[in-house]
C-alpha cells in the first residue's frame, strides 16, 4: 500500500497507468520537507483514441469495491420484512412452480438422468438467478449512481463490479438451500463438486461482461432499462433451465450450445450430481465469457469519459 | 519552487441542445445515422457550433506546494468545471494538467452517504469513496466522530439525523482526508456558523502543513481570509490571478459579484422560515438612489424588506458588515424604539439603517442581512453576502484622510473631533540658545 513516506518513489508516468494512485495518505508532509516527484502522479488530458484498462488503478481502489458491495448487500434488505429470506424465496418458489407445471410435462423427468426434478431445477436456477439478478442490477447500477459519478473520481468499473459481487452473497445463501434439498432427496454430492468454484467464476465472468457493457450503454441509451427484463426473459427460455439440453432434438442442440449459459448450467448439474461434463459446451461458455469480458471492458473504458457529462 | 499543479491551456467544451446534453435514446441514434449525410451538411454551415459552449478556454496556471488558491467568478464562469476536470470527474477537451501529488476532491459533502446506513457505516463508506484506506479510516474514526460532535448518534441511521448533524458528519470525514492537493467546492456554504469556522480552521491548518488547496467559493470574506492568491474566472477564461485582496476587489468592483440590490421575487425560495421571509436588501444614498459606490463623506442607507407571515414574533433585523479581507467590521441591529420588544403583525416591512458619513473605511463592504428573535435566540434567516458596496475616499482633503494620499489600514475611518491646545512661548530664541550652551 502506498503511503506518504514512499510517495516520491511511486511515480507511474506511463500513460497506461496515469492517475492510478488513489488519494490515501498517512500524515501530511510538512511543507519544507515535501519532495515532489519528478514525473506527475496524475496527468489529465483528453484521452487518445485507444484506451487502456488501467488495471493498476482498479487494484488500488480494491477496498472501494469491498465497501460498495458491502453497502449494496446491507441496504438491499433493509426495511424489508423478510430481509435476507428473499434470497431464498426467489429460487425456491420458482423451483416449486417449475416442478408443479413442467415436471411431468413431455417426459422431462425421464431425461434428468435419475435426478429428482426439484433438485434438477434448483441446481439450474442457482446460476441463472445469480446471472439474471447480477446483470439486471449492474446494468442499472451506473445510472443509479449518477450522484457519485458527477461528484467524485474512482474507477467507474467498481460500480457494475460491486453489483455483481453483491449478487454472490445471495447466491451463497441460496446455495445453502440446495445442500438441504440434496440431503432431503438423498442425493449425495459427487467429488466433481470441486469444479463448482471454477463454474462460479465462469458465471461471474459472463455476468460481469454483460452487466458492465449494459451499464455503460444504459448511461447513453435509457432503452436498456426496458429492454433488459425482456431480454433476460427470452434468454431464460433458451437456456436449459426447465429442461435438460438432451430435451432438444439432436439436430438443433448446437444452437443451444451457442448460448454461453448452456455450458454453465449443465456444468453445475454435472459437477453437483457427478455426471459427465459437456466439455464442448463449457469451452464455448468460457470462450464467449472471456471475449465478452474483454470487449465490454474496453467498450466501458471508451464510454467512461462521457459518463459524468451525460448521466 | 516547482509547482505541484501545472495547468496548461485547459479547455472544456460542452454540447448543448436536445442531443448531447441529455441522454439519447437508441431510436434517435438510429434515425440520426440514417440522416447522417444531412447532418454533416448542416454542420458545415456552422449550425452545430452554436450548440456548444466552452466552459473552460485556454486556462493556464501553476500552483506551488502549500499554496491555498481561491477560485471565484460568477455562476457559470467555469469554476466548477475546472474543479471537475482537475479531480478527473470529467475529461478536458484539450490541454493538459499535471498533478505532482495525490489529489482528493470535495465537490459536495456526504458524497455517497446512504440514508439507511448508520453514521458509523457511512464514515467507512464515504471515506472509501473519497479514497481513504480502510486502515486509515479506522485510525481516524474516533477523531472524525469527535469532530462531528455526534458521538451519541453514531449507530443511528443518518436518515434520522438533523440536517446539521448530517452536514457535520459529512464534513468531518472530508476534513480528515490527507491528500497533498485538496479541491473544495462551495461546501462551506452549509452548516451553522460555528461549525463553518471550525471547518475553515481545519482547512487553514491543512495549508500550513504544506497541503495545497484549491477553493471555489462565493464567500468573498472566506476567500480573502483563507487564500493568499485568487484566480478570477469569467466565461471560462482567467480574468485575474493574483493576491486575493486585489482580485476579490476587482471582482466586486467589476459588478460581477454581489450588487447594491438583491431581490427575491419568489417568496417560497427566499431566505427565511415560516415566520419571516426576506424580500430584498438595498444600498442607497441619502436621496434614495440605489448605488454600489458611495462617497466616504456621505451617509449610506441599507434597506431590508421582509414579509412577516406569522404574527406574534419579536423580530430584530440586523446587518453584518465584513470587509474584503474577511474582517468583521461591525454588526448593527435594529434600534427603532417603536418595534422594540413588540411582536410584529403580519405584513410587509422595510427597515432602514443609516451609516453616517465619515465613518467607514474605503474599500468594499459586504453586507449580510438577518432577522433574529432574541428571546430565545432564533435566526430566521441570515443571508451572508446579500449586497456589497464600495466606499470611495475623497482626495479633496476634507475627509478623515486629510492630505495624505497613501493607503490607510483599518476597518473604520471615522472623522474624529480633534482639538489642539497651544501656548506660545514668549522667548523662543532663548530656548534655542539654552540648547547650544549645554554643548
The CA distance from B92 to the nearest CA of chain A, in Å, is 5
Q: How far apart are CA B85 and CA B428, in angstroms?
A: 76
The CA distance from B273 to the nearest CA of chain A, in Å, is 28
The CA distance from B183 to the nearest CA of chain A, in Å, is 11
pLDDT at B383: 87
pLDDT at B256 over 60: no
CB distance B218 to B198 below 8 Å: no
Give chain B positions within 8 Å (CB) of A41. 99-102
Q: Which DSSP string do the residues of B164-195 spell out, in sequence order?
A: HHHHHHHHHHHHT---SEEEEESGGGSS-HHH
CA-nearest residue to A57 within chain B is B131
pLDDT at B255: 58
Question: CB–CB of A44 and B23 under 8 A?
Answer: no
Query: Which of A42-51, A140-149, A213-222 has the least mean pLDDT?
Result: A42-51
Task: Using alpha carbons, select from A198, A177, A181, A164 the residue that is nearest to residue A267.
Answer: A198
Predicted complex: ipTM over 0.85: no
The CA distance from A226 to the nearest CA of chain B, in Å, is 11
What are A169-190's pLDDT values in tens digits? Answer: 999 999 999 999 999 988 888 8
Give chain B positions within 8 Å (CB) of A74. 116-117, 121
Question: CB–CB of B130 and A309 under 8 A?
Answer: no
Q: How far apart are CA B332 and CA B368, in angstroms?
A: 10
Torsional sign, CA B200, B202, B204, B207: negative
Q: Would you kindly state where each structural domain of chain A is located, as residue ranges? A: 1-45, 54-310
Interface with B, mutate which of A7, A45, A57 (most B CBs under 10 A):
A45
> Which of B4, B105, B116 is nearest residue A36 as measured by Cβ atoms?
B4
Question: CB–CB of A25 and B24 under 8 A?
Answer: no
CA-nearest residue to B209 within chain A is A30
Kindly state the cell numbers that stand for A101.
407445471
pLDDT at B188: 56
Query: Which of A93-97, A127-131, B49-53 has the least mean pLDDT?
Result: B49-53
More confident residue, B258 or A255: A255
Question: CB–CB of A23 and B130 under 8 A?
Answer: yes
pLDDT at B46 over 50: no
pLDDT at A138 over 70: yes
pLDDT at B35: 53
Give chain B positions within 8 Å (CB) of A30. 209-210
Question: CB–CB of B25 and A221 under 8 A?
Answer: yes
Domains, chain B, in order of start with CATH, read 5-11+55-253 (3.40.50.300), 261-392 (2.70.50.60)
> Which of A41, A152, A310 is nearest residue B130 as measured by Cβ atoms?
A152
pLDDT at B197: 66
Residue with cell 479541491: B183
Question: CB–CB of A24 and B99 under 8 A?
Answer: no
pLDDT at B110: 76
Pairing of strands B316-323, B328-333: antiparallel
Spell out the residues 6+ positions from residue A250 whose beta carbon is closer than 8 angstroms to its own: none
Query: Which of A206-215, B13-22, B75-84 has the least mean pLDDT?
Result: B13-22
Give chain A positions within 8 Å (CB) of B108. 151
pLDDT at B33: 55
CA-nearest residue to B25 within chain A is A221
Question: CB–CB of B116 and A28 under 8 A?
Answer: no
Quote the mean pLDDT of chain B: 82
CA-nearest residue to B178 within chain A is A25
User: What's the whole-number mean pLDDT along residues A42-62?
Assistant: 81
HSE at residue A90, side-chain half, CA atoms within 13 A, is 19
What are B335-393's pLDDT values in tens digits? Answer: 999 999 999 999 999 999 999 999 998 878 889 999 999 888 899 999 887 888 888 77
Question: CB–CB of B25 and A44 under 8 A?
Answer: no
CA-nearest residue to A40 within chain B is B100
CB distance B197 to B219 below 8 Å: no
Cβ-in-10-Å burial (0-12, 13-18, 19+) of B420 comes to: exposed
Rounded to 5 degrees, what are φ and ψ at B425?
Answer: -85, 135
Interface with A, mutate which of B119, B178, B213 (most A CBs under 10 A):
B178
Question: CB–CB of B23 and A25 under 8 A?
Answer: no
What are B424-434's pLDDT values in tens digits? Answer: 887 755 555 55
Give chain A positions within 8 Å (CB) of B66. 31, 34
CA-nearest residue to A227 within chain B is B26
Give chain A positions within 8 Å (CB) of B121. 71, 74
pLDDT at A126 over 60: yes
Beta strands across the sheet bearing B181-185? B103-106, B181-185, B212-216, B68-73, B229-234, B237-243
Question: CB–CB of A36 and B2 under 8 A?
Answer: yes
User: What's the whole-number mean pLDDT along residues A263-286?
Assistant: 92
What kind and span of H or E run contains A40?
A: none
CB distance B118 to B154 below 8 Å: yes
Give chain B positions within 8 Å (CB) of A219. 23
What kind and span of H or E run contains B371?
A: strand B363-373
- The answer to whether the pTM exceeds 0.80 is no
Give chain A positions within 8 Å (CB) of B91. 44-47, 305
pLDDT at B170 over 60: yes
Query: Which of A58-67, A71-80, B294-303, B426-435 has the least mean pLDDT?
Result: B426-435
pLDDT at B70: 92
pLDDT at B205 over 60: yes
Give chain A positions within 8 Å (CB) of B53. none
User: What's the whole-number mean pLDDT along residues A15-23?
Assistant: 41
Question: CB–CB of B177 and A23 under 8 A?
Answer: yes
Amino acid at each position: 500500500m502506498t503511503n506518504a513516506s514512499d510517495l516520491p518513489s511511486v511515480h507511474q508516468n506511463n500513460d497506461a497507468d496515469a492517475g492510478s494512485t488513489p488519494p490515501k495518505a498517512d500524515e501530511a508532509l510538512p511543507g519544507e520537507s515535501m519532495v515532489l516527484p519528478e514525473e506527475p502522479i496524475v496527468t489529465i488530458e483528453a484521452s487518445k483514441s485507444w484506451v487502456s484498462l488501467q488495471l493498476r488503478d482498479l487494484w488500488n481502489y480494491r477496498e472501494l469495491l469491498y465497501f460498495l458491495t458491502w453497502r449494496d448487500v446491507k441496504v438491499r434488505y433493509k426495511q424489508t420484512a423478510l430481509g435476507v429470506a428473499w434470497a431464498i424465496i426467489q429460487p425456491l418458489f420458482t423451483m416449486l412452480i417449475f416442478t408443479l407445471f413442467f415436471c411431468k410435462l413431455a417426459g422431462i423427468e425421464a431425461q434428468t438422468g435419475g435426478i429428482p426434478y426439484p433438485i434438477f431445477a434448483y441446481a439450474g436456477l442457482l446460476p441463472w438467478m445469480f446471472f439474471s439478478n447480477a446483470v439486471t442490477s449492474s446494468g442499472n447500477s451506473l445510472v443509479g449512481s449518477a450522484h457519485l459519478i458527477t461528484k467524485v473520481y474512482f474507477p467507474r468499473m467498481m460500480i457494475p463490479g460491486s453489483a455483481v459481487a453483491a449478487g454472490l452473497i445471495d447466491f451463497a445463501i441460496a446455495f445453502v438451500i440446495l445442500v438441504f434439498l440434496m440431503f432431503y432427496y438423498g442425493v449425495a454430492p459427487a467429488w466433481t463438486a470441486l469444479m463448482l468454484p471454477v463454474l462460479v467464476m465462469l458465471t461471474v465472468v459472463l455476468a460481469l461482461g454483460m452487466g458492465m457493457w449494459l451499464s455503460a450503454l444504459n448511461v447513453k441509451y435509457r432503452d436498456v432499462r426496458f429492454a433488459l427484463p425482456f431480454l433476460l426473459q427470452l434468454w431464460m427460455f433458451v437456456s436449459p433451465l426447465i429442461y435438460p439440453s438432451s430435451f432438444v432434438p439432436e439436430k438443433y442442440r448446437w444452437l443451444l450450445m451457442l448460448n454461453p449459459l448452456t455450458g454453465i448450467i449443465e456444468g453445475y448439474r454435472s459437477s453437483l450430481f457427478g455426471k459427465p461434463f459437456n466439455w464442448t459446451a463449457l469451452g464455448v461458455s468460457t470462450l464467449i465469457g472471456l471475449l465478452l469480458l474483454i470487449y465490454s471492458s474496453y467498450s466501458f473504458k471508451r464510454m467512461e469519459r462521457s459518463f459524468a457529462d451525460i448521466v | 519552487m516547482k509547482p505541484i499543479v501545472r495547468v496548461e491551456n485547459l479547455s472544456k467544451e460542452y454540447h448543448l441542445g436536445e442531443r448531447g446534453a441529455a441522454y439519447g435514446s437508441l431510436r434517435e441514434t438510429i434515425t440520426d445515422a440514417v440522416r447522417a449525410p444531412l447532418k454533416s451538411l448542416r454542420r458545415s454551415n456552422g449550425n452545430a457550433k452554436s450548440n456548444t459552449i466552452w466552459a473552460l478556454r485556454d486556462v493556464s496556471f501553476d500552483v506551488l506546494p502549500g499554496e491555498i488558491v481561491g477560485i471565484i467568478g460568477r455562476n457559470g464562469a467555469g469554476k466548477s468545471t475546472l474543479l471537475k476536470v482537475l479531480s478527473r470527474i470529467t475529461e478536458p477537451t484539450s490541454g493538459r494538467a499535471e498533478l505532482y501529488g495525490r489529489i482528493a476532491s470535495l465537490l459536495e459533502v456526504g458524497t455517497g452517504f446512504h440514508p439507511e446506513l448508520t453514521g458509523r457505516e457511512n464514515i467507512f463508506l464515504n471515506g472509501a469513496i473519497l479514497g481513504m484506506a480502510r486502515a486509515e479510516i479506522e485510525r481516524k474514526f474516533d477523531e472524525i466522530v469527535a469532530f462531528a460532535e455526534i458521538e451519541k448518534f453514531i449507530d443511528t441511521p443518518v436518515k434520522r439525523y438533523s440536517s446539521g448533524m448530517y452536514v457535520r458528519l459529512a464534513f468531518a470525514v472530508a476534513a480528515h482526508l490527507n491528500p497533498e492537493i485538496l479541491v473544495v467546492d462551495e461546501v462551506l456554504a452549509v452548516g451553522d456558523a460555528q461549525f463553518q469556522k471550525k471547518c475553515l480552521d481545519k482547512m487553514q491548518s491543512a495549508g500550513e502543513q504544506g497541503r495545497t488547496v484549491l477553493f471555489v467559493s462565493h464567500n468573498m470574506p472566506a476567500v480573502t481570509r483563507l487564500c493568499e492568491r485568487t484566480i478570477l474566472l469569467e466565461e471560462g477564461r482567467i480574468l485575474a490571478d493574483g493576491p486575493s485582496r486585489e482580485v476579490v476587489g476587482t471582482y466586486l468592483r467589476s459588478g460581477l459579484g454581489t450588487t447594491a440590490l438583491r431581490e427575491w421575487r419568489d417568496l417560497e425560495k427566499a431566505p427565511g422560515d415560516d415566520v419571516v421571509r426576506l424580500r430584498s436588501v438595498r444600498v442607497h444614498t441619502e436621496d434614495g438612489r440605489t448605488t454600489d459606490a458611495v462617497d466616504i463623506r456621505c451617509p449610506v442607507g441599507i434597506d431590508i424588506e421582509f414579509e412577516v407571515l406569522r404574527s406574534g414574533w419579536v423580530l430584530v433585523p440586523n446587518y453584518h458588515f465584513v470587509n474584503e479581507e474577511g474582517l468583521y467590521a461591525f454588526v448593527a441591529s435594529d434600534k427603532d424604539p417603536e418595534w422594540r420588544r413588540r411582536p410584529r403583525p403580519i405584513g410587509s416591512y422595510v427597515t432602514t439603517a443609516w451609516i453616517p458619513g465619515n465613518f467607514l473605511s474605503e474599500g468594499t463592504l459586504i453586507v449580510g442581512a438577518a432577522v433574529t428573535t432574541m428571546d430565545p435566540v432564533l435566526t430566521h434567516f441570515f443571508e451572508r453576502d446579500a449586497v456589497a458596496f464600495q466606499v470611495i475616499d475623497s482626495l479633496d482633503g476634507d475627509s478623515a484622510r486629510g492630505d495624505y494620499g497613501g493607503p490607510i489600514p483599518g476597518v473604520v475611518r471615522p472623522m474624529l473631533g480633534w482639538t489642539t491646545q497651544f501656548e506660545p512661548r514668549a522667548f523662543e530664541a532663548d530656548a534655542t540658545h539654552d540648547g547650544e550652551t549645554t554643548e
